[in-house]
Structure 1
Amino acid sequence: MLLRLLLVPFSLLLSSVIVSAEEDPIRLKVEKRYEQFQVSDWFTDSGLKSILTPLMKVINQEHILEDEQQFYHAADLYDAGQKQLAFYYMHHLAHLGYSVPQFYLGYMYNVGEVVEQNHEEAAYWYLLAAMSGDADAQRNLGYMYYYGEGLAVDYDEAIYWFSQASFNADPDAQFELAYIYDMGEVVAADKFKAIELYKMASRADHVKATHFLGLSYRDGDGVETDYAVAFQYFSKAAELGHIAAMSELGYFYLNGFGTEEDFDKAFEWFEKAKAQDDINAYYNIAWMYENGVGVKQDYEKALEHYLVAAKANDADALFQVGYFYAEGKGTKQDIRKAVYWYERAVSHNSLSAMNNLANINYNDNGQWRDHSKAVELWEKAANGGHLLAQYNLGAYYETDDNPTRDEQKAFHWYLKAAKQNDGESQYKIAQMYLTGTGTDPSFEQYQYWLKQAAENNYQPAKDELGDEGEDLDPSVWEQVRTLINNANP
């Protein structure tokens, strides 16, 4: 229903601070507009004389607030589709100073309903209603100041009116104000204030605020990380219909974050989000089919779901589709299609796609062979922190028949991967410290990295250390180095 019963004459507010109408430009403007306002010709052409007559009788009553049913009647007109008639009624009451009709008049001008859209006119009526304490008008006035619709952008005014609406328990305003303090783009960030405002809005079942609280507790943003609390907020937001929260809730069930691991519930929530075309849900369902988690392993269904997400330009899904075509998973192997999807993933900065496309460029013996492009892609991915690309670059620069062989570069990239806890790279670094390849020899570093590789269950390192992983004898190390150097003069 359009109209509410809480009608406060703006004229009463003005009368307490203004001696006469002549001294107040806003009131003068209101009265001037009212004097000029006349019933338009569409009333006589509307064929609604039976409705118009009782309505005019209501408007002419001296004490209009005595009969609350008349307000229901006006709302019924609006709900029945007689919006022009309802607009006339609201226009009359708005000129008399009633805040609720002022708000709705502002709203209709703001969205261009019945009348031509006019943001300045909307701002005018919102301001009158806002000054009477109308929370909806205060919130919408905040939007107009924030985005510069009908008013010059003024963040201080926007925050002021959002704050007024928030004080009047408007959950949308509480959320907007929380978001402003959360982002810290127009004011100094205040995470504590943001969290408190999100909580106030969430208690009124504001779905976005509830979802933001889930994200905050998941990521430790403004609060301590707490998966159990995040799970509760995601659950509430999902039940309220928030699509992204449904996917988050499925992910929490899938991984046992803040709750017991439950693959059936994970799949159920992913399916609910998928029904709302959520791309993350498509990706996660694909992952479950690919790995046989909670469902029977099915590469074809996995590819089907990855393709939906890929067509929406999800970078991880673009990579997965390329990988499925490269490996022939769920489809016939097709390097041409693999390259196509990898290249699309690369355009969305997928490091994994860069690495795999580089592998094709390096190893292919046909049209895709391009070593310079391979190195370029490996370096881009490696500089972005991709472990396999770092290892591949190390192996590339270590290769004997590589005309650009560079032991120092090989050491550099192997070390990058080793520091990411890759067992094979750690073993490579240990051997390079042993032989002094690409770096100065160091027994301590050799032993350190050999132990790291063994702890990561890299078998050659475990064999070299022995079953008990004892510290090595430095004299043995010197003997080994002498043998290696003699074998490689």
Structure 2
Amino acid sequence: MYRDSVYDEILQKVNEEVTQYERKLEIDPTDAATAYRLSLIYKDGLGVTKDYEKAYQLVLQSYDTDQNPLAANVLGTMYYNGMYVEKNQEQGLQLMQYAHEQGNIAATFNIGIHLLVNADSDTAQEAQGLEMVRTAAEKGNHFAQFAYGGFYDDGRMGQDYTIAFEWYQRAADSGSSGAAANLGFMYRNGVIEVDDADDKALEYFRKSAYMHNAHGMYNLGSMYDNGISVEENQAVAFYWFTKAASKGSANATYALYRYYSEGIYTDYDPELAMEVLEQAAASGVTAAQRDLGNILSDEDSEYLDYEKAAYWFEQAAEEDDLISINNLGWMYENGFGVEQDYATALNYFYKAAEAGYAVAQCNVGRYYIEQRGGMPKDIEHAKQWLQLSADQGYERAIQLLEELRDKPPSGDSGFWKKLFS
């Protein structure tokens, strides 16, 4: 089985640190600095299983010892977010405010984010929040640098990818795994144009992955899966997809579906494949929702369930997935899992057709011929839609155009065979 030696070496070092810290606390329970460091490891799951209870007990121990502002900030975030303890934003803010007043820049950043999230239309509060985030960023807090870069990336500060890149670069250099992953995205997607963009993307995805970032792990796996800047290696890809999925990456979970369903590198396991597909769909991965709908609507599938299929197609359709939109039309046309309704079917077909999906364009043309869904019989419009579909190489549209030339439609819908997605 493939193992990443560098990543395993990092994990080993973390485990050794945990052991050392725990021994030091056994000798001196008042060692506030050690209790604080160990609390962060358990809070963030850095090389160990995430454990909020342990993190809380350790950071409380550190704070009670000497009112350490570092510990006060972490304790504040745990109360603010309800990590192990009952959620109490007021108490959390009080602890973070104390830390901020003691010069803790992480607390400055956290309060700034709180102000931004709750600013609504209060421009003065928003300005104060932005200033606190910027202050923390300029003082070297990598979370603040990452967030401030994001403000330029997503347009909150006026979209400027160059400035976003600069802040992400500073954050990544300071240890932000999220910023490293975003730099990888910017190189991979051509936002930053350089000759060796894919090599740079690989470098930053690897850096992010080694810092335990799920997005970095997933994208590193994708680079190996597709042979981008590295030799294609399914063993390495499977390793990183598995790591990313264990960290909560829904995209990585979906990627594992193909491995289990096709037996790529790992054992062929259709039950496990279905399990990870359902997990990815439930987590909002549009392609997984569509694939799950396709399986559940396949009459030859042991999982056949039209009602569930319609549900998953609806979820994917909300994200404008054209195949799922067309498939919903097919289900309404045939009354599979929903009440048969030609007008609703046509609405779905039209939506996908106007967006350029060939199968749906063919279906709209067919509805003009068959006079379904309230459509008039209009051979010219039917030909126009069928031609758009045929121009994309869709065989059924090509066939129907030929049939229109050779034999006028009789009006008998049985003559026009059902079209399936």
| TM-score, scaled relative to structure 1 | 0.58
Q: Which moved more, 1:160-169 or 1:263-272?
A: 160-169
CA contact (8 A) 2:60 2:71 kept: no
Partner residue, 1:352: 323
1:143 corresponds to = 113
Written as runs of structure 1 = structure 2, the 5 A alignment for 1:13-28 is: none
Aligned partner of 2:167 in structure 1 is: 197
Q: Is the 8 A contact 2:63 2:71 kept in 1?
A: no
CA RMSD of aligned residues (A): 4.4
Cα gap change, 1:294 to 1:121, in 2 (>3 Å):
closer
2:349 aligned partner: 378
Gap change, CA 1:288 and 1:189, over 3 Å in 2: same
Q: Which has the larger radius of gyration?
A: 1
Contact preservation (8 Å) 2:93, 2:111: no
1:117 aligns with 2:91: yes
CA contact under 8 A between 1:181 and 1:194: conserved in structure 2? yes
The letter of the residue matching 1:379 is Y
1:395 corresponds to which letter in structure 2? R
Q: Secondary structure at the match of 1:220?
A: coil
What CA deviation, in whole Å up to 9, does each residue of 1:109-156 have, x standing for no partner?
776699972746854762x444xxx5445434543553459x985444
CA distance, structure 2, for counterparts of residue 343 and residue 144 of structure 1: 35
The yes-or-no answer on 1:405 pairing with 2:392 is no
Given that residues 387 and 401 in structure 2 are in contact (C-alpha distance below 8 angstroms), is that contact kept between their aligned partners in structure 1? no
Map of 1:244-255 to 2, 5 A cutoff? 244-255=215-226
Question: In the superposition, relative to structure 1, how do residues 373 and 124 fare at CA in structure 2: closer, same or farther (>3 Å)?
Answer: same
1:253 offset after TM fit, Å?
1.9
Residues 415 and 258 of structure 1, relative CA distance in 2, 3 Å threshold: farther
Displacement after TM superposition at 1:164 (Å): 3.6
Structure 1 counterpart of 2:213, from 242, 248, 251: 242
- Once the two structures are TM-superposed, the CA of residue 388 in structure 1 deviates from its matched residue by 1.5
Which residue of 288, 298, 302 maps to 1:317?
288
Moved more, 80-89 or 288-297: 80-89
Q: Tell me, yes or no, if the aligned pair for 1:289 and 1:299 is still in contact at 8 Å.
A: yes
The equivalent position to 1:275 in structure 2, one of 243, 246, 251, is 246
Q: Percent identity, please.
A: 26
1:220 pairs with 180, 190, 206, which one?
A: 190
Q: Cα offset for 1:163?
A: 3.7
Distance across 2 between alignment mates of 1:112 and 1:366: 46
For 2:352 and 2:65, locate their aligned partners in 1 and report how far apart those are by CA, in whole Å: 65
Distance 1:107 1:289 in 2: 40
Residue 146 and residue 89 in structure 1: after superposition, are their counterparts in 2 closer, same or farther (change >3 A)? Answer: same
User: Aligned equivalents of 1:243 and 1:389: distance in 2?
Assistant: 37
Q: What aligned pairs does 1:400-479 form with structure 2 within 5 A after superposition?
A: 404-418=376-390, 421-422=392-393, 424=395
Match of 2:147 among 176, 181, 187: 176
Measured after TM superposition, the shift of residue 196 of structure 1 is 1.4
Deviation at 1:371, TM superposition (A): 2.7
Number of equivalenced pairs:
348
CA–CA separation in structure 2 for the residues paired with 1:86 and 1:283: 42
Q: Is the Cα contact below 8 Å between 2:96 and 2:107 reproduced in 1?
A: no
Task: Letter of the 2:286 partner, please give it.
Answer: A
TM-superposed CA distance for 1:305, in Å, is: 2.5
Alpha-carbon deviation of 1:242? Answer: 1.1
Distance change in 2, residues 1:196/1:434 (3 Å): farther
Cα distance change, pair 417–293 in 1 and its aligned pair in 2 (3 A): farther
Which of 340, 352, 364 pairs up with 1:393? 364
CA distance in 2, matches of 1:254, 1:77: 41
Partner Cα distance (1:220, 1:194) in 2:
14
Assess, with a 3 A threshold, how the Cα gap between structure 1 residues 106 and 231 changes in structure 2: closer, same or farther.
Answer: closer
Secondary structure class of the residue paired with 1:169 = coil
Structure 2 residue runs of 5 or longer lacking an equivalent are: 1-29, 39-56, 409-421
CA offset digits 1:249-277 (Å, max 9, x no partner) = 22222222232222222222222222234
Q: What is the match of residue 178 of structure 2? A: 208
Cα pair 1:111 1:117 within 8 Å, conserved: no
Q: Is the 8 A contact 1:147 1:153 kept in 2?
A: no
**Separation in 1 of the partners of 2:226 and 2:107?**
44
Amino acid across the alignment from 1:208? G
**C-alpha separation between the residues in 1 aligned to 2:298 and 2:396?**
25
Change in Cα spacing, 1:294 to 1:158, as seen in structure 2 (3 Å) is: same
- Partner SS, residue 208 of structure 1: helix
Relative to structure 1, the CA distance from residue 374 to residue 292 in structure 2 (aligned partners, 3 Å threshold; closer, same or farther) is farther
Does the CA-based 8 Å contact 2:257-2:276 persist in structure 1? yes
- Residues in 1 aligned to 2:72 and 2:181: alpha-carbon distance in whole angstroms: 33
CA offset at residue 336 of structure 1?
A: 5.0
Asked if 2 retains the 8 angstrom alpha-carbon contact of 1:319 and 1:345, the reply is: yes
Distance 1:163 1:342, change over 3 A: closer
Mapped to 2, the partners of 1:279 and 1:258 lie a distance apart of: 24
- Taking the aligned partners of 1:109 and 1:360, their CA distance within structure 2 comes to 51
- Worse-matched range after superposition: 409-418 or 167-176: 409-418
CA 1:417 to 1:106, structure 2 compared with 1: closer, same or farther past 3 Å?
Answer: same
